[in-house]
Structure 1
Amino acid sequence: MLGNQRERLPDVGSLLVVGSGKGGVGKSTVSVNLAVALARAGASVGLLDCDVYGPSVPMMLGVRKRAASSGFRAMLPLAEAKNLAPEKKIPPLTRYGVRVMSAGFFIGEEQAVAASSDMLGLLIRQLLYSVDWGRLDYVILDLPPGNGEPQQTLCREMALDGAILVTTPQDIARIDTAKALAMFQNADVPVLGVVQNMDGLLCPHCGERIEIYPHSKEVRTRLDQVPVLGSLPLDPMAARWSDEGVPVAISMAETPFGQAFCTLAREVLARQQTRNSSNE
Protein backbone atom coordinates (compact mmCIF):
# COMPACT_ATOMS: atom_id res chain seq x y z
CA MET A 1 0.00 0.00 0.00
CA LEU A 2 2.88 2.34 0.84
CA GLY A 3 4.40 1.82 -2.60
CA ASN A 4 1.11 2.96 -4.24
CA GLN A 5 1.38 6.30 -2.43
CA ARG A 6 4.79 7.02 -3.88
CA GLU A 7 5.23 9.14 -6.97
CA ARG A 8 6.43 7.87 -10.31
CA LEU A 9 8.68 9.96 -12.52
CA PRO A 10 6.69 10.69 -15.70
CA ASP A 11 7.73 8.92 -18.91
CA VAL A 12 10.40 6.83 -17.14
CA GLY A 13 10.16 3.04 -17.22
CA SER A 14 12.35 2.22 -14.22
CA LEU A 15 13.92 4.42 -11.55
CA LEU A 16 16.99 2.67 -10.15
CA VAL A 17 19.34 3.72 -7.34
CA VAL A 18 22.99 2.77 -6.87
CA GLY A 19 24.03 3.04 -3.24
CA SER A 20 26.11 1.83 -0.35
CA GLY A 21 26.44 2.66 3.30
CA LYS A 22 30.09 3.63 2.79
CA GLY A 23 31.99 6.11 0.67
CA GLY A 24 34.90 5.26 -1.58
CA VAL A 25 33.62 1.88 -2.73
CA GLY A 26 33.02 2.93 -6.35
CA LYS A 27 29.31 3.81 -6.54
CA SER A 28 29.90 6.51 -9.15
CA THR A 29 32.10 4.22 -11.23
CA VAL A 30 29.35 1.60 -11.21
CA SER A 31 26.60 4.17 -11.89
CA VAL A 32 28.37 5.78 -14.85
CA ASN A 33 29.47 2.58 -16.50
CA LEU A 34 26.18 0.77 -15.89
CA ALA A 35 24.35 3.69 -17.53
CA VAL A 36 26.70 3.62 -20.54
CA ALA A 37 26.53 -0.18 -20.82
CA LEU A 38 22.71 -0.09 -20.73
CA ALA A 39 22.71 2.59 -23.45
CA ARG A 40 25.08 0.50 -25.58
CA ALA A 41 22.69 -2.43 -25.11
CA GLY A 42 19.92 -0.36 -26.70
CA ALA A 43 18.15 1.13 -23.67
CA SER A 44 17.38 4.84 -23.32
CA VAL A 45 19.03 5.97 -20.09
CA GLY A 46 19.28 8.99 -17.80
CA LEU A 47 21.77 9.45 -14.96
CA LEU A 48 21.34 11.81 -11.99
CA ASP A 49 24.32 12.47 -9.72
CA CYS A 50 22.75 12.82 -6.26
CA ASP A 51 25.97 13.65 -4.41
CA VAL A 52 25.76 17.41 -3.90
CA TYR A 53 28.83 17.70 -1.67
CA GLY A 54 31.19 15.62 -3.80
CA PRO A 55 29.79 15.03 -7.32
CA SER A 56 32.02 12.66 -9.31
CA VAL A 57 29.90 11.98 -12.37
CA PRO A 58 30.81 15.12 -14.36
CA MET A 59 34.55 14.42 -14.37
CA MET A 60 34.02 10.73 -15.12
CA LEU A 61 32.08 11.79 -18.22
CA GLY A 62 34.54 14.45 -19.31
CA VAL A 63 32.54 17.49 -18.12
CA ARG A 64 34.83 19.95 -16.33
CA LYS A 65 33.74 23.18 -14.62
CA ARG A 66 36.86 24.60 -13.04
CA ALA A 67 35.60 28.15 -12.39
CA ALA A 68 33.50 28.79 -9.30
CA SER A 69 29.91 29.93 -9.85
CA SER A 70 28.25 32.86 -8.12
CA GLY A 71 24.83 34.48 -7.95
CA PHE A 72 21.97 32.81 -9.79
CA ARG A 73 24.40 30.52 -11.65
CA ALA A 74 25.20 28.73 -8.39
CA MET A 75 21.56 28.22 -7.40
CA LEU A 76 20.06 24.75 -7.38
CA PRO A 77 16.29 24.23 -7.79
CA LEU A 78 14.40 23.86 -4.52
CA ALA A 79 10.89 25.01 -5.43
CA GLU A 80 8.04 22.60 -4.82
CA ALA A 81 7.06 22.21 -8.46
CA LYS A 82 6.41 18.84 -10.08
CA ASN A 83 4.56 19.89 -13.22
CA LEU A 84 6.90 22.43 -14.74
CA ALA A 85 6.21 23.68 -18.23
CA PRO A 86 8.62 22.14 -20.77
CA GLU A 87 10.29 25.49 -21.46
CA LYS A 88 11.14 25.86 -17.75
CA LYS A 89 12.83 22.49 -17.44
CA ILE A 90 16.60 22.02 -17.40
CA PRO A 91 18.03 20.27 -20.48
CA PRO A 92 20.37 17.41 -19.51
CA LEU A 93 23.76 16.95 -21.11
CA THR A 94 24.11 13.90 -23.32
CA ARG A 95 27.34 11.95 -22.94
CA TYR A 96 28.01 8.58 -24.56
CA GLY A 97 24.31 8.15 -25.25
CA VAL A 98 23.24 8.90 -21.64
CA ARG A 99 21.26 11.98 -20.53
CA VAL A 100 23.08 13.33 -17.48
CA MET A 101 22.40 15.85 -14.71
CA SER A 102 24.55 16.70 -11.68
CA ALA A 103 24.91 19.43 -9.09
CA GLY A 104 28.45 19.57 -10.41
CA PHE A 105 27.11 21.30 -13.53
CA PHE A 106 26.08 24.30 -11.40
CA ILE A 107 29.22 24.76 -9.26
CA GLY A 108 32.97 24.73 -9.74
CA GLU A 109 34.67 21.39 -9.19
CA GLU A 110 36.63 22.80 -6.22
CA GLN A 111 33.76 24.92 -4.91
CA ALA A 112 32.19 23.98 -1.58
CA VAL A 113 28.42 23.56 -1.31
CA ALA A 114 26.70 24.81 1.83
CA ALA A 115 23.36 23.09 1.32
CA SER A 116 21.67 22.05 4.56
CA SER A 117 21.72 18.26 4.93
CA ASP A 118 18.02 18.11 5.81
CA MET A 119 17.21 19.82 2.50
CA LEU A 120 19.14 17.38 0.31
CA GLY A 121 16.17 15.08 -0.21
CA LEU A 122 13.99 17.96 -1.40
CA LEU A 123 16.78 19.20 -3.66
CA ILE A 124 17.34 15.85 -5.37
CA ARG A 125 13.63 15.17 -5.75
CA GLN A 126 13.16 18.59 -7.32
CA LEU A 127 16.11 18.02 -9.67
CA LEU A 128 14.39 14.84 -10.82
CA TYR A 129 11.28 16.81 -11.76
CA SER A 130 13.17 19.84 -13.10
CA VAL A 131 15.16 18.01 -15.75
CA ASP A 132 13.70 17.50 -19.21
CA TRP A 133 14.48 13.77 -19.34
CA GLY A 134 12.09 12.94 -22.16
CA ARG A 135 10.97 9.33 -22.47
CA LEU A 136 13.48 6.91 -20.96
CA ASP A 137 13.66 3.22 -20.14
CA TYR A 138 15.85 3.88 -17.09
CA VAL A 139 16.94 6.74 -14.86
CA ILE A 140 19.82 5.79 -12.55
CA LEU A 141 20.40 7.73 -9.34
CA ASP A 142 24.01 7.76 -8.11
CA LEU A 143 23.47 8.18 -4.35
CA PRO A 144 25.91 9.73 -1.87
CA PRO A 145 27.38 7.63 0.96
CA GLY A 146 25.31 6.77 4.00
CA ASN A 147 21.65 6.16 4.78
CA GLY A 148 20.49 9.70 5.57
CA GLU A 149 19.46 12.24 2.94
CA PRO A 150 18.55 12.17 0.12
CA GLN A 151 18.00 8.42 0.57
CA GLN A 152 15.28 8.81 3.18
CA THR A 153 13.22 11.25 1.09
CA LEU A 154 13.62 9.21 -2.08
CA CYS A 155 12.63 5.95 -0.35
CA ARG A 156 9.62 7.61 1.29
CA GLU A 157 8.28 9.64 -1.63
CA MET A 158 9.47 8.17 -4.94
CA ALA A 159 8.52 4.84 -6.51
CA LEU A 160 11.98 3.23 -6.76
CA ASP A 161 12.01 0.17 -8.99
CA GLY A 162 15.27 -1.28 -7.79
CA ALA A 163 18.42 -0.74 -5.75
CA ILE A 164 21.92 -1.90 -6.61
CA LEU A 165 24.39 -2.00 -3.73
CA VAL A 166 28.14 -1.54 -4.18
CA THR A 167 30.65 -2.95 -1.73
CA THR A 168 34.26 -4.08 -1.52
CA PRO A 169 35.35 -7.49 -0.20
CA GLN A 170 36.47 -6.56 3.32
CA ASP A 171 34.09 -6.68 6.24
CA ILE A 172 34.38 -2.99 7.14
CA ALA A 173 32.64 -2.18 3.84
CA ARG A 174 30.20 -5.10 4.04
CA ILE A 175 28.94 -3.96 7.45
CA ASP A 176 27.87 -0.60 6.05
CA THR A 177 26.46 -2.23 2.91
CA ALA A 178 24.33 -4.47 5.12
CA LYS A 179 22.93 -1.32 6.78
CA ALA A 180 22.06 0.14 3.37
CA LEU A 181 20.41 -3.15 2.43
CA ALA A 182 18.28 -3.06 5.58
CA MET A 183 17.25 0.53 4.82
CA PHE A 184 16.02 -0.34 1.32
CA GLN A 185 14.31 -3.55 2.43
CA ASN A 186 12.56 -1.78 5.30
CA ALA A 187 11.31 0.80 2.79
CA ASP A 188 10.02 -1.97 0.46
CA VAL A 189 12.47 -1.02 -2.29
CA PRO A 190 13.39 -4.11 -4.36
CA VAL A 191 17.12 -4.84 -4.09
CA LEU A 192 18.34 -6.23 -7.41
CA GLY A 193 21.70 -7.34 -6.05
CA VAL A 194 25.23 -6.46 -5.01
CA VAL A 195 28.24 -5.42 -7.07
CA GLN A 196 31.55 -6.35 -5.42
CA ASN A 197 34.10 -3.77 -6.51
CA MET A 198 37.90 -3.78 -6.15
CA ASP A 199 37.78 -7.56 -5.99
CA GLY A 200 41.43 -8.32 -6.63
CA LEU A 201 44.02 -6.63 -8.85
CA LEU A 202 44.77 -7.78 -12.36
CA CYS A 203 48.54 -7.54 -12.88
CA PRO A 204 49.12 -5.34 -15.97
CA HIS A 205 52.17 -7.43 -16.91
CA CYS A 206 51.09 -11.05 -16.52
CA GLY A 207 47.33 -10.83 -15.97
CA GLU A 208 47.52 -12.70 -12.66
CA ARG A 209 44.84 -11.84 -10.10
CA ILE A 210 46.25 -10.49 -6.83
CA GLU A 211 44.08 -10.16 -3.73
CA ILE A 212 44.45 -6.62 -2.37
CA TYR A 213 41.64 -6.45 0.18
CA PRO A 214 41.02 -9.42 2.50
CA HIS A 215 37.72 -11.16 1.82
CA SER A 216 35.42 -11.04 4.82
CA LYS A 217 34.82 -14.32 6.61
CA GLU A 218 31.95 -12.88 8.65
CA VAL A 219 28.44 -14.11 7.91
CA ARG A 220 26.09 -11.26 7.02
CA THR A 221 22.82 -13.15 6.73
CA ARG A 222 20.76 -10.53 4.88
CA LEU A 223 23.62 -9.46 2.64
CA ASP A 224 24.71 -13.00 1.79
CA GLN A 225 21.20 -13.79 0.55
CA VAL A 226 21.25 -11.00 -2.04
CA PRO A 227 22.39 -12.01 -5.56
CA VAL A 228 25.85 -10.91 -6.67
CA LEU A 229 25.34 -9.05 -9.94
CA GLY A 230 29.01 -8.69 -10.74
CA SER A 231 32.57 -8.72 -9.45
CA LEU A 232 34.88 -5.94 -10.63
CA PRO A 233 38.67 -6.26 -10.40
CA LEU A 234 41.01 -3.36 -9.80
CA ASP A 235 42.76 -2.17 -12.95
CA PRO A 236 45.20 0.79 -12.94
CA MET A 237 44.02 1.82 -16.41
CA ALA A 238 40.43 2.15 -15.21
CA ALA A 239 41.35 5.03 -12.88
CA ARG A 240 43.30 6.74 -15.65
CA TRP A 241 40.42 6.54 -18.12
CA SER A 242 37.95 7.78 -15.48
CA ASP A 243 40.13 10.83 -14.81
CA GLU A 244 40.21 11.50 -18.55
CA GLY A 245 36.41 11.37 -18.73
CA VAL A 246 36.02 8.22 -20.80
CA PRO A 247 33.93 5.42 -19.20
CA VAL A 248 35.71 2.08 -19.08
CA ALA A 249 32.58 0.48 -20.58
CA ILE A 250 33.82 2.16 -23.77
CA SER A 251 37.57 2.66 -23.36
CA MET A 252 38.17 -0.85 -21.95
CA ALA A 253 35.19 -2.63 -23.47
CA GLU A 254 37.16 -5.76 -24.44
CA THR A 255 39.00 -6.13 -21.10
CA PRO A 256 37.71 -8.14 -18.12
CA PHE A 257 36.90 -4.83 -16.38
CA GLY A 258 34.86 -3.52 -19.30
CA GLN A 259 33.16 -6.86 -19.90
CA ALA A 260 32.08 -6.95 -16.26
CA PHE A 261 29.87 -3.91 -16.90
CA CYS A 262 28.35 -5.52 -19.99
CA THR A 263 27.47 -8.51 -17.81
CA LEU A 264 26.08 -6.20 -15.12
CA ALA A 265 23.90 -4.41 -17.69
CA ARG A 266 22.53 -7.74 -18.97
CA GLU A 267 21.74 -8.82 -15.39
CA VAL A 268 19.88 -5.58 -14.66
CA LEU A 269 17.94 -5.76 -17.94
CA ALA A 270 16.96 -9.38 -17.29
CA ARG A 271 15.86 -8.73 -13.69
CA GLN A 272 13.84 -5.67 -14.61
CA GLN A 273 12.17 -7.48 -17.50
CA THR A 274 11.26 -10.37 -15.18
CA ARG A 275 9.91 -7.96 -12.58
CA ASN A 276 7.90 -6.02 -15.14
CA SER A 277 6.42 -9.25 -16.52
CA SER A 278 5.36 -10.41 -13.05
CA ASN A 279 3.63 -7.05 -12.43
CA GLU A 280 1.55 -7.21 -15.62
Structure 2
Amino acid sequence: MMAAVRGLVVSGLNAVRSRTFLQWGRLNSVAAVFFCSAAGSHEEKLKRRQAEVMSRGLPKQKPIPGVKHVVVVASGKGGVGKSTTAVNLALGIAASHHVKAVGLLDADIYGPSIPRMMNLKGNPEVSDGNLMIPLVNYGIQCMSMGFLVEETTPIVWRGLMVMSAIERLLRQVDWGELDYLVIDMPPGTGDVQLSISQNIPISGAVIVSTPQDIALLDARRGAEMFHKVNVPVLGIVQNMSVFRCPKCDHETHIFGADGARQLAVAMGLVILGDIPLHINIRETCDAGKPIVVSDPESSEAKAYVGIAQQIISRVSK
Protein backbone atom coordinates (compact mmCIF):
# COMPACT_ATOMS: atom_id res chain seq x y z
CA MET A 1 0.00 0.00 0.00
CA MET A 2 2.74 2.41 0.99
CA ALA A 3 4.67 1.50 -2.12
CA ALA A 4 1.65 2.37 -4.24
CA VAL A 5 1.30 5.75 -2.47
CA ARG A 6 5.00 6.48 -2.97
CA GLY A 7 4.62 5.60 -6.62
CA LEU A 8 1.74 8.02 -7.04
CA VAL A 9 3.67 10.79 -5.27
CA VAL A 10 6.79 10.20 -7.34
CA SER A 11 4.85 10.09 -10.58
CA GLY A 12 3.04 13.28 -9.57
CA LEU A 13 6.30 15.02 -8.75
CA ASN A 14 7.79 13.90 -12.05
CA ALA A 15 4.76 15.26 -13.88
CA VAL A 16 5.07 18.61 -12.06
CA ARG A 17 8.79 18.73 -12.86
CA SER A 18 8.07 17.98 -16.51
CA ARG A 19 5.43 20.73 -16.70
CA THR A 20 7.68 23.15 -14.83
CA PHE A 21 10.63 22.54 -17.13
CA LEU A 22 8.31 22.86 -20.13
CA GLN A 23 6.94 26.15 -18.83
CA TRP A 24 10.41 27.46 -18.10
CA GLY A 25 11.43 26.45 -21.58
CA ARG A 26 8.50 28.32 -23.04
CA LEU A 27 9.18 31.34 -20.86
CA ASN A 28 12.82 31.33 -21.87
CA SER A 29 11.84 31.07 -25.52
CA VAL A 30 9.36 33.91 -25.18
CA ALA A 31 11.90 35.97 -23.27
CA ALA A 32 14.53 35.32 -25.90
CA VAL A 33 12.18 36.39 -28.69
CA PHE A 34 11.08 39.42 -26.68
CA PHE A 35 14.56 40.68 -25.92
CA CYS A 36 15.77 40.04 -29.44
CA SER A 37 12.84 41.84 -31.06
CA ALA A 38 12.65 44.67 -28.52
CA ALA A 39 16.30 45.52 -28.17
CA GLY A 40 15.85 48.87 -29.88
CA SER A 41 12.56 49.85 -28.24
CA HIS A 42 12.98 48.57 -24.68
CA GLU A 43 12.84 52.02 -23.15
CA GLU A 44 9.67 52.93 -25.05
CA LYS A 45 7.94 49.72 -23.95
CA LEU A 46 9.07 50.29 -20.38
CA LYS A 47 7.57 53.78 -20.44
CA ARG A 48 4.29 52.41 -21.82
CA ARG A 49 4.26 49.76 -19.13
CA GLN A 50 4.85 52.36 -16.44
CA ALA A 51 2.04 54.48 -17.84
CA GLU A 52 -0.31 51.49 -17.75
CA VAL A 53 0.59 50.78 -14.13
CA MET A 54 0.14 54.42 -13.17
CA SER A 55 -3.27 54.55 -14.85
CA ARG A 56 -4.65 51.58 -12.92
CA GLY A 57 -7.27 52.55 -10.40
CA LEU A 58 -7.70 56.07 -11.79
CA PRO A 59 -11.28 57.27 -12.16
CA LYS A 60 -12.75 57.32 -15.63
CA GLN A 61 -13.21 60.79 -17.00
CA LYS A 62 -16.84 61.87 -17.19
CA PRO A 63 -17.81 65.11 -18.90
CA ILE A 64 -19.82 67.68 -16.98
CA PRO A 65 -23.38 67.59 -18.37
CA GLY A 66 -24.04 70.50 -20.74
CA VAL A 67 -20.42 71.77 -20.80
CA LYS A 68 -18.68 71.67 -24.18
CA HIS A 69 -15.18 72.83 -23.25
CA VAL A 70 -13.32 73.06 -19.94
CA VAL A 71 -10.32 75.40 -19.74
CA VAL A 72 -8.25 75.47 -16.55
CA VAL A 73 -6.20 78.49 -15.52
CA ALA A 74 -3.30 77.39 -13.36
CA SER A 75 0.01 78.49 -11.89
CA GLY A 76 2.83 76.74 -10.14
CA LYS A 77 2.75 79.20 -7.25
CA GLY A 78 0.52 81.83 -5.71
CA GLY A 79 0.79 85.58 -6.09
CA VAL A 80 1.17 85.71 -9.87
CA GLY A 81 -2.32 87.03 -10.63
CA LYS A 82 -3.91 83.73 -11.63
CA SER A 83 -7.43 84.47 -10.33
CA THR A 84 -7.44 87.97 -11.84
CA THR A 85 -6.41 86.41 -15.13
CA ALA A 86 -9.07 83.68 -14.90
CA VAL A 87 -11.85 86.22 -14.27
CA ASN A 88 -10.87 88.51 -17.12
CA LEU A 89 -10.28 85.61 -19.51
CA ALA A 90 -13.76 84.23 -18.75
CA LEU A 91 -15.21 87.65 -19.52
CA GLY A 92 -13.03 87.92 -22.62
CA ILE A 93 -14.24 84.54 -23.89
CA ALA A 94 -17.85 85.57 -23.25
CA ALA A 95 -17.26 88.73 -25.30
CA SER A 96 -16.72 86.63 -28.43
CA HIS A 97 -19.62 86.66 -30.88
CA HIS A 98 -19.28 82.90 -31.35
CA VAL A 99 -19.72 82.08 -27.66
CA LYS A 100 -23.17 81.95 -26.10
CA ALA A 101 -22.59 80.95 -22.46
CA VAL A 102 -19.56 80.86 -20.15
CA GLY A 103 -19.17 79.56 -16.60
CA LEU A 104 -16.49 80.24 -14.00
CA LEU A 105 -15.63 77.71 -11.30
CA ASP A 106 -13.49 78.73 -8.33
CA ALA A 107 -11.57 75.57 -7.39
CA ASP A 108 -9.40 77.31 -4.80
CA ILE A 109 -11.07 75.86 -1.71
CA TYR A 110 -8.79 77.49 0.86
CA GLY A 111 -8.68 80.95 -0.71
CA PRO A 112 -11.75 81.59 -2.88
CA SER A 113 -11.56 85.02 -4.51
CA ILE A 114 -14.05 84.79 -7.36
CA PRO A 115 -17.04 86.03 -5.26
CA ARG A 116 -15.37 89.38 -4.58
CA MET A 117 -13.89 89.79 -8.04
CA MET A 118 -17.24 89.03 -9.67
CA ASN A 119 -19.18 91.08 -7.06
CA LEU A 120 -21.35 88.16 -5.97
CA LYS A 121 -22.70 87.27 -2.54
CA GLY A 122 -25.18 84.85 -1.09
CA ASN A 123 -25.87 81.15 -1.06
CA PRO A 124 -26.75 79.32 -4.27
CA GLU A 125 -30.28 78.03 -4.64
CA VAL A 126 -30.94 74.34 -5.16
CA SER A 127 -32.78 73.01 -8.20
CA ASP A 128 -35.52 70.37 -8.23
CA GLY A 129 -32.80 67.86 -9.11
CA ASN A 130 -30.92 68.76 -5.91
CA LEU A 131 -28.18 70.62 -7.83
CA MET A 132 -26.72 73.97 -6.86
CA ILE A 133 -27.66 76.81 -9.21
CA PRO A 134 -24.71 79.11 -10.06
CA LEU A 135 -24.80 82.80 -9.20
CA VAL A 136 -24.63 85.08 -12.24
CA ASN A 137 -23.03 88.46 -12.91
CA TYR A 138 -21.80 90.10 -16.11
CA GLY A 139 -23.40 87.18 -17.94
CA ILE A 140 -21.03 84.66 -16.33
CA GLN A 141 -22.35 81.74 -14.28
CA CYS A 142 -20.17 81.38 -11.18
CA MET A 143 -19.69 78.79 -8.46
CA SER A 144 -17.28 78.99 -5.54
CA MET A 145 -16.79 77.67 -2.05
CA GLY A 146 -16.94 81.34 -1.10
CA PHE A 147 -20.72 81.22 -1.69
CA LEU A 148 -21.09 78.49 0.92
CA VAL A 149 -19.10 80.01 3.81
CA GLU A 150 -18.65 83.46 5.26
CA GLU A 151 -15.99 85.57 3.56
CA THR A 152 -13.78 85.76 6.65
CA THR A 153 -14.29 82.14 7.75
CA PRO A 154 -11.16 80.02 7.31
CA ILE A 155 -11.64 76.61 5.73
CA VAL A 156 -9.62 74.30 7.97
CA TRP A 157 -10.04 70.98 6.18
CA ARG A 158 -7.91 67.95 5.55
CA GLY A 159 -7.36 66.51 2.11
CA LEU A 160 -10.34 64.15 2.02
CA MET A 161 -12.80 66.94 2.80
CA VAL A 162 -11.25 69.15 0.13
CA MET A 163 -11.54 66.37 -2.45
CA SER A 164 -15.17 65.83 -1.48
CA ALA A 165 -15.84 69.54 -1.93
CA ILE A 166 -14.20 69.52 -5.37
CA GLU A 167 -16.33 66.55 -6.39
CA ARG A 168 -19.46 68.43 -5.35
CA LEU A 169 -18.43 71.57 -7.21
CA LEU A 170 -17.81 69.53 -10.34
CA ARG A 171 -20.80 67.18 -10.23
CA GLN A 172 -23.52 68.85 -8.18
CA VAL A 173 -23.88 72.16 -10.00
CA ASP A 174 -26.53 72.84 -12.63
CA TRP A 175 -24.45 74.65 -15.25
CA GLY A 176 -27.09 74.36 -17.96
CA GLU A 177 -25.61 74.61 -21.46
CA LEU A 178 -22.12 76.15 -21.50
CA ASP A 179 -19.75 76.66 -24.40
CA TYR A 180 -16.85 77.15 -21.97
CA LEU A 181 -16.28 76.48 -18.29
CA VAL A 182 -13.20 78.30 -17.00
CA ILE A 183 -11.77 76.77 -13.82
CA ASP A 184 -9.61 78.91 -11.56
CA MET A 185 -7.26 76.27 -10.12
CA PRO A 186 -5.49 76.63 -6.78
CA PRO A 187 -1.75 77.25 -6.98
CA GLY A 188 0.60 74.29 -7.02
CA THR A 189 0.50 70.73 -8.37
CA GLY A 190 -1.32 68.78 -5.67
CA ASP A 191 -4.44 66.71 -5.06
CA VAL A 192 -6.97 69.20 -6.43
CA GLN A 193 -5.15 69.64 -9.75
CA LEU A 194 -4.78 65.88 -10.18
CA SER A 195 -8.38 65.18 -9.18
CA ILE A 196 -9.82 67.66 -11.65
CA SER A 197 -7.48 66.55 -14.45
CA GLN A 198 -8.36 62.88 -13.92
CA ASN A 199 -12.12 63.26 -13.38
CA ILE A 200 -13.23 65.45 -16.29
CA PRO A 201 -12.05 65.91 -19.88
CA ILE A 202 -10.14 69.18 -20.16
CA SER A 203 -9.78 70.99 -23.47
CA GLY A 204 -6.68 72.83 -22.38
CA ALA A 205 -4.67 74.45 -19.60
CA VAL A 206 -3.45 78.03 -19.44
CA ILE A 207 -0.34 78.63 -17.33
CA VAL A 208 0.00 82.05 -15.67
CA SER A 209 3.42 83.29 -14.59
CA THR A 210 5.34 86.48 -14.03
CA PRO A 211 8.73 86.87 -15.78
CA GLN A 212 10.51 86.34 -12.44
CA ASP A 213 12.89 83.35 -12.32
CA ILE A 214 11.35 81.87 -9.16
CA ALA A 215 7.84 82.05 -10.61
CA LEU A 216 9.06 80.49 -13.86
CA LEU A 217 10.47 77.46 -12.04
CA ASP A 218 7.05 76.72 -10.57
CA ALA A 219 5.30 77.51 -13.84
CA ARG A 220 7.43 74.88 -15.54
CA ARG A 221 6.42 72.32 -12.90
CA GLY A 222 2.78 73.19 -13.51
CA ALA A 223 3.11 72.71 -17.26
CA GLU A 224 4.97 69.41 -16.78
CA MET A 225 2.21 68.17 -14.48
CA PHE A 226 -0.42 68.73 -17.15
CA HIS A 227 1.75 66.94 -19.69
CA LYS A 228 1.97 63.93 -17.36
CA VAL A 229 -1.84 63.70 -17.05
CA ASN A 230 -2.34 64.21 -20.80
CA VAL A 231 -3.92 67.66 -20.58
CA PRO A 232 -2.91 69.89 -23.51
CA VAL A 233 -1.21 73.12 -22.47
CA LEU A 234 -2.62 75.92 -24.61
CA GLY A 235 0.17 78.32 -23.70
CA ILE A 236 1.60 80.69 -21.13
CA VAL A 237 0.30 84.08 -20.06
CA GLN A 238 3.12 86.42 -19.05
CA ASN A 239 1.46 88.43 -16.29
CA MET A 240 2.88 91.60 -14.75
CA SER A 241 5.22 91.71 -17.72
CA VAL A 242 5.91 95.42 -17.37
CA PHE A 243 4.93 98.18 -14.96
CA ARG A 244 3.20 101.02 -16.75
CA CYS A 245 3.00 104.23 -14.75
CA PRO A 246 -0.60 105.52 -14.82
CA LYS A 247 0.62 109.14 -14.86
CA CYS A 248 3.42 109.19 -17.41
CA ASP A 249 3.09 105.76 -19.09
CA HIS A 250 6.78 105.04 -18.42
CA GLU A 251 7.47 101.28 -18.52
CA THR A 252 9.69 99.38 -16.07
CA HIS A 253 10.35 95.63 -16.08
CA ILE A 254 10.07 95.07 -12.33
CA PHE A 255 10.03 91.25 -12.51
CA GLY A 256 12.40 90.95 -15.45
CA ALA A 257 11.84 90.95 -19.19
CA ASP A 258 10.61 88.09 -21.37
CA GLY A 259 11.29 85.33 -18.84
CA ALA A 260 8.04 83.54 -19.71
CA ARG A 261 8.83 83.81 -23.41
CA GLN A 262 12.13 82.07 -22.86
CA LEU A 263 10.37 79.34 -20.85
CA ALA A 264 7.82 78.90 -23.64
CA VAL A 265 10.58 78.44 -26.21
CA ALA A 266 12.38 75.93 -23.98
CA MET A 267 9.20 73.87 -23.49
CA GLY A 268 7.89 74.15 -27.03
CA LEU A 269 4.89 76.22 -25.92
CA VAL A 270 3.50 79.55 -27.05
CA ILE A 271 3.02 82.85 -25.28
CA LEU A 272 -0.67 83.65 -25.42
CA GLY A 273 -0.02 87.26 -24.49
CA ASP A 274 1.44 89.79 -22.06
CA ILE A 275 -0.52 91.48 -19.29
CA PRO A 276 1.06 94.61 -17.79
CA LEU A 277 1.32 95.39 -14.08
CA HIS A 278 -1.21 98.22 -13.96
CA ILE A 279 -3.12 99.68 -11.05
CA ASN A 280 -6.40 99.65 -13.01
CA ILE A 281 -6.35 95.85 -13.19
CA ARG A 282 -5.95 95.52 -9.43
CA GLU A 283 -8.46 98.25 -8.51
CA THR A 284 -11.20 97.00 -10.80
CA CYS A 285 -10.97 93.40 -9.58
CA ASP A 286 -10.92 94.51 -5.93
CA ALA A 287 -14.06 96.55 -6.63
CA GLY A 288 -15.83 93.60 -8.25
CA LYS A 289 -15.78 95.26 -11.68
CA PRO A 290 -13.10 93.48 -13.74
CA ILE A 291 -11.40 95.64 -16.30
CA VAL A 292 -12.75 93.72 -19.30
CA VAL A 293 -16.28 94.91 -18.43
CA SER A 294 -15.53 98.16 -16.60
CA ASP A 295 -13.08 99.61 -19.15
CA PRO A 296 -13.29 97.46 -22.30
CA GLU A 297 -11.50 100.01 -24.49
CA SER A 298 -8.38 100.11 -22.32
CA SER A 299 -5.19 98.47 -23.56
CA GLU A 300 -5.25 96.16 -20.52
CA ALA A 301 -8.75 94.89 -21.31
CA LYS A 302 -7.82 94.39 -24.96
CA ALA A 303 -4.84 92.31 -23.88
CA TYR A 304 -7.14 89.92 -21.99
CA VAL A 305 -9.59 89.75 -24.90
CA GLY A 306 -6.76 88.99 -27.31
CA ILE A 307 -5.62 86.08 -25.12
CA ALA A 308 -9.21 84.85 -24.86
CA GLN A 309 -9.48 84.80 -28.65
CA GLN A 310 -6.31 82.71 -28.87
CA ILE A 311 -7.74 80.25 -26.36
CA ILE A 312 -10.93 79.91 -28.39
CA SER A 313 -9.00 79.33 -31.62
CA ARG A 314 -6.70 76.74 -30.05
CA VAL A 315 -9.50 74.83 -28.34
CA SER A 316 -11.61 74.72 -31.51
CA LYS A 317 -8.80 73.18 -33.61
- TM > 0.5 between the two? yes
CA distance in 1, matches of 2:222, 2:141: 27
Aligned to 2:71, the other structure's residue is in SS state: strand
2:241·2:256 contact (CA, 8 Å) conserved in 1? no
CA distance in 1, matches of 2:293, 2:285: 11
Q: What's the CA shift for 1:224? A: 4.1
CA distance in 1, matches of 2:291, 2:260: 30
CA distance in 2, matches of 1:132, 1:233: 36
CA distance in 2, matches of 1:264, 1:35: 10
CA distance in 1, matches of 2:196, 2:265: 22
Q: Which moved more, 1:153-162 or 1:210-219?
A: 210-219
Q: Which moved more, 1:260-269 or 1:221-230?
A: 221-230
CA distance in 2, matches of 1:88, 1:53: 25
Match for residue 16 of structure 1? Answer: 71
Q: What letter matches 1:181 in structure 2?
A: A
1:178·1:222 contact (CA, 8 Å) conserved in 2? no
In the alignment, structure 1 residue 112 sits paired with structure 2 residue 154:
yes
Match for residue 236 of structure 1? Answer: 279
CA distance in 1, matches of 2:151, 2:213: 32
After superposition, what is the alpha-carbon deviation per residue over 1:228-277, rounded to whole angstroms, capped at 9, x for unaligned?
11100011122111111001111121111110011011101111111xxx
- The 5 Å alignment of 1:60-71 reads 60-64=117-121
After superposition, what is the alpha-carbon deviation per residue over 1:109-147, rounded to whole angstroms, capped at 9, x for unaligned?
111112212442332122111111001101111001110
RMSD: 2.4
Higher helix fraction: Structure 1 or Structure 2? 2
Query: CA 1:220 to 1:266, structure 2 compared with 1: closer, same or farther past 3 Å?
Result: closer
Aligned to 2:216, the other structure's residue is in SS state: helix
Match for residue 132 of structure 2? Answer: 90
After superposition, what is the alpha-carbon deviation per residue over 1:27-81, rounded to whole angstroms, capped at 9, x for unaligned?
111111111111121421011000111111110011246xxxxxxx8xx9xxxxx
Structure 1: state its 5+ residue gaps. 66-72, 77-83, 275-280
Q: Which moved more, 1:101-110 or 1:114-123?
A: 114-123
After superposition, what is the alpha-carbon deviation per residue over 1:78-125, rounded to whole angstroms, capped at 9, x for unaligned?
xxxxxx985311110111011000000011111111221244233212
Which residue of the other structure, out of 293, 297, 305, is the alignment partner of 1:254? 297
Which residue of the other structure, out of 256, 260, 266, is the alignment partner of 1:214? 256
Normalised TM-score (structure 2): 0.76
Which residue of the other structure, out of 68, 87, 94, is the alignment partner of 1:39? 94
- Percentage identity across paired residues of the two chains: 36
2:236·2:264 contact (CA, 8 Å) conserved in 1? no
